[in-house]
Amino acid sequence: MLYTYNMSGNMESDNTEFDNMESENSTSDAPSDATFDATFDSVFKALSTGTRRRILDLLKDHPRTTGELCASFPELDRCTTMQHLDVLERAGLVIAQRKGRVRWNHLDALPIKLIHDRWIGDYARSAVELLASLKSDLELTST
């Protein structure tokens, strides 16, 4: 997702898919579960391949050109690397920006954060509560 700030400092989204998700659920500010599931499916699919995860790792520190990314995977031809980038872009994990003849690829970590908030955060909270309960039970039995 690409965000821009207008002159008054308000954030605007350039991602029509996300805007459509918001408008589908008019009763609340949050997108529907079905919309989240479709978005999550594409993100999970994109993350399912080690090559794509390595591409995201390379983009974590700073944007890279497509040529730089292709050079990082000498075992793959340029077409295959571009196909991986296309899957990442469709999942919303990579934003491609053209500057002249050069294509810059930027990481968008928001879909990963949404997965964390929806799935991992709840499971982690339950695990921490279970560990806290276990600790207090052990402390009671040891005294």
Q: Is the pLDDT confidence value at 11 over 60?
A: no
pLDDT of residue 31: 59
CATH topology for the 3-108 domain: Arc Repressor Mutant, subunit A (1.10.10)
Q: Counting every residue, how long is the chain?
A: 143
pLDDT band at 129 (very low <50, low <70, confident <90, very high): confident
| pLDDT tens-place string over residues 68-125 | 999 999 999 999 999 999 999 999 999 999 999 999 999 999 999 988 888 788 788 8
d(CA 19, CA 94): 17
3-12, 52-61, 74-83, 87-96: range with lowest mean pLDDT: 3-12
Ranges assigned E (strand) in the chain: 3-5, 11-13, 64-65, 94-99, 102-107
